[in-house]
Amino acid sequence: MGRIASSIGIITGVPITDTVDQLIAISARPRDLIVSRTASLRAEQTAVSQLTASVLAVQLAGRSLGNAGLFHKTTATTSNSALLTATVTGSPTPANYQVTPLKTAETQQSLSNGFASLDAAVGEGTLVIGRGGFVADPVLLADLNGGSGVSRGKIRITDRSGDSADIDLRYALNIDDVLEAINTSEKINVTAVAEGDAIRLVDNTGATTANLSVAEVSGGSTAADLGLAGINVA
């Protein structure tokens, strides 16, 4: 025979299951409130911990501001350490400097008087090591004009055929650099030579169309400092 199950009280007609569930829920409310409160307190604790960490970070940063050396510290950096390195000494003024390498270091060779052979003994006496003997050191532009040097810039040279060339002397270091810049120009046919304390320009065109002349470029004074200003020779 089949069985009939019912959650309705036989006598009262009250739903037993629902009533029990409600009673259990009512009895569990204090526990649920404690669980909810605990979760809320843990969230507050986490927030307080984060706030404390932030405050400590601000305090540590504030202590660094009390170090006077922090505001006076200077560092030097270079955009190309393969060409130039920089270090700080003293108390330099903060700034950006543009450096253009012109020449790299070269090996130095020292020569002595000749010997009969590699095994020849050197006689008694004094061995003197000095500079010079073969090639004179080039005159530095910085030493010209009583130590005032030469203004960096360009000069315009016109040969007797009427051709002109702007000679860039901004990076010239010595007289040899000036002579080379003029003599290697492909726009004019002029040779520059050093004679005593002056530079002489020789026109090689053989033409008479124009005068051999030298002029400043962009209002500079490079030609004047080199003693070439005012040259205008037929």
pLDDT tier, 21 (very low <50, low <70, confident <90, very high otherwise): confident
The tokens for 214 are 């030298």
Q: CB neighbours (10 Å) of residue 232?
A: 11
Distances (CA, A) of 160 to 155, 229, 231: 16, 17, 12
Of 117-131, 184-198, 207-221, minimum mean pLDDT range: 117-131
Contact between residue 170 and residue 154 where contact means Cβ atoms under 8 Å apart: yes
In angstroms, the first-to-last Cα distance of the chain is: 143
The residue among 164, 157, 152 whose CA lies nearest residue 102 is 152
pLDDT at 123: 73
In order of 51, 58, 69, the CA distances from 64 in angstroms are 20, 10, 10
Mean pLDDT (the chain) is 83
Instruction: Please state which of the ranges 27-36, 39-48, 117-126, 156-165 shows the lowest mean pLDDT.
Output: 117-126
Express each pLDDT in 39-86 by its tens digit.
Answer: 999 999 999 999 999 999 888 888 777 776 667 778 888 888 888 888
pLDDT at position 186: 93
Q: Rounded CA gap, 188 and 214, in Å? A: 12
pTM as predicted: 0.52
